[in-house]
Structure 1
Amino acid sequence: MDSAAPGPSFALTDEQAELQRVVRQFARERVAPRAEAFNARAELPLDLVGEMGQMGLFGLPFPEEVGGSGGTYLDLCLALEEIGRVDQSLGITLEAAVGLGAMPIYRFGSDEQRERWLPPLARGEQLAGFGLTEPGGGSDAGALRTRARWDGDAWVIDGSKQFITNVGTDVSAFVTVAAVTADDPREITNFVVPTGTPGYVVGQGYRKVGWHASDTRDLAFSDCGVPADHQLGEQGRGLANFLSILSEGRIAIAALAVGLIQGCVDECVRYAQEREAFGKPIGAHQAVAFKIADMEAAAQLARNQYRYACWLLATGQRFTREAAIAKLHATEQAVAAAREACQVFGGYGFTTEYAVGRFYQDAKILEIGEGTSEVQRMLIARDLGLPR
């Protein structure tokens, strides 16, 4: 009888454990002390982005021959969890730069396009955006109004996008854009639109509930022309290609959410040991201790799920359902953990003087970005064979 194929192991390799240690130290020593200042100013700390680039974080899942670090998607998720443990804004900057900005070039670009655009992204010297979401679309990702027409020697794009990350910084190089390229609205093709292209206008940004220090903009395209070699991937395959990018990205968002939950545990354990009420530390009261214990349980379970999805991805197996489960569970638990962490801190939790206040601001978007909780449930239901 043939032995069963080996199952997943959640044990980290020595190299992964070292990566985790290095990123955790960077997050605690370089990011955490400045996180609230950048949050208050709604300013992305580009110097820290540069340091992350020098550490090789932006190139983690890409091979060395294209300027990457030669790691895996799990390596990226480990880094996201550690950064997100102290600052979600910087965490989503890394996640969007790698998973949404650079990954479409790596997955669907030609050899020439990879050579041209991927190395500076993998080194963290440039950032790129992912232009799918539109004002009238939301969760209906295929309902695109942005159009691209061939005009003899160039593709000319007209339309708009919203809630796009990393397109308005001093190091933003381009955005990849999904646009309808035929009378049939189902024919969608992707394009690379460099920053500064005539007809491409980057908006001023949003007043957001959370993720204050990340860069989020709306985009407009008016007679915006790009040459033929800026078409990314096969014509008509744009939506399918972008949706596959989102499937991978859901694992990364789950890792970011786990970072938030673990950050809540870190802050609450420290505070519950120091803060006293009724003659003893508040952590000695079961009402507080049980809240923190539930947060730790949530973090452990969500971490196991995203690592399982990473294992499926790495071994070439279907991972769509598991990625949706990872994102759904981790993000909803992150919202619950942030709420309970603020309760542990009492009035102080309603300020951003403490990290739990920022976590409370940042948590909700995790249930929305890269596919809402409702979309994740829809994907899970469809994968179970339930009727559409």
Structure 2
Amino acid sequence: MIKQILNKLPRKPSSKSSQNDATAINSMNSGVNSTPKISSSSDKSSNSNTNVNGIHTPNVKSNTGKKAGQIGSVQAPYEQLPCFRDVPTSEKHNLFIKKLNMCCVVFDFSDPSKNSKEKDIKRQTLLELVDYITSVPSKFNEVTMLEITKMISSNIFRSLPSCNYNKLPDVIDPEDDEPNMEPSWPHLQIVYEFLLRFVSAPETEAKLAKRYIDHSFVIKLIDLFDSEDQREREYLKTILHRIYGKFMVHRPFIRKAINHIFYSFIFETEKHNGIAELLEILGSIINGFALPLKEEHKLFLTRALIPLHKPKCLSMYHQQLSYCITQFVEKDYVLADTVIRGLLKYWPITNCSKEVMFLSELEEVLESTQAAEFQRCMVPLFRQIGRCLNSSHFQVLQLLKL
């Protein structure tokens, strides 16, 4: 009887069976969260969010159907592939794809001593890719464009350092606040050069490339304008302008995305590093607007450009903003009344340095203003000029005398 009772009690599992259960659970977990692995002499596997010898790799869902900016597993050692000149012409395209996949690996630049050899190999490979893309004899097919955008996305799309949105001074001197320079620029610069040449190349057909340089790609590119590194913003400015010129289907979307950045900057944060560069692009776009101006363009002037006079850090982008405003008045002189009244609405009360900028811009606008539009706004305009005559700031008085 006692033996029968003991037989019914649950038995403690053996160590071997426990290990098998743990192995099965780990296998199931790894099947759900599939991540690329990088083998090395000291660590055979690593999750995608873990640094392995300073190498970062994005997550992937599987080895097939990869999205742009994602990569599969990378096998160590990270060795240099043959040069294009050392392989037959028939093998160059396959080598091009291999080099693109090889450059999807992103290294950690926070420690310059990590992976110095691998970083040199990748940099040399990126330079070879830039040279090769300018000499491709045929048009890029879908597979090639997919691999190209995947490599570009893996390198340039990243989280930027968080900005401090505390109170800003009335006048910002760039020399007083040195920006953070991007530590990965030795690689990033070459990737941007590669992207610029890819977008500009005649072999890149816009009808096909728009599937990969899509709205998601463009919005991520525009988000990078908040980078503190001016070198990066200069590349982004040139590249986005080329995309705007080549991909007509993206033009309304690009203008709308820039509008949203301006709205957030004006009414929420008053902090963004790329307002001047975005206004430079818009200056060229506005210059190409057909006449008569569309209603959406006029709304852009009244809802985005004129309110950009409100932030305290106007000095950082006033030159570019003034050019955009003047372009609108030169395109349609009837808008002069709207612009002048907008300037009067945001006219600074206690900031003399900002008042000098307003007077300079007002002078440029008045040069393109017709008599009829001037008469509509001359009463409030002269009232404001009269208040300026009582200013104690010598630059304000000097401008009024001129």
Larger helix proportion of the pair = 2
What is the TM-score normalised by the length of structure 2? 0.25
Rg larger for: 2
Larger strand proportion of the pair = 1
What is the TM-score normalised by the length of structure 1? 0.25
Structure possessing the higher relative contact order (Cα contacts under 8 Å, 6 or more residues apart): 1
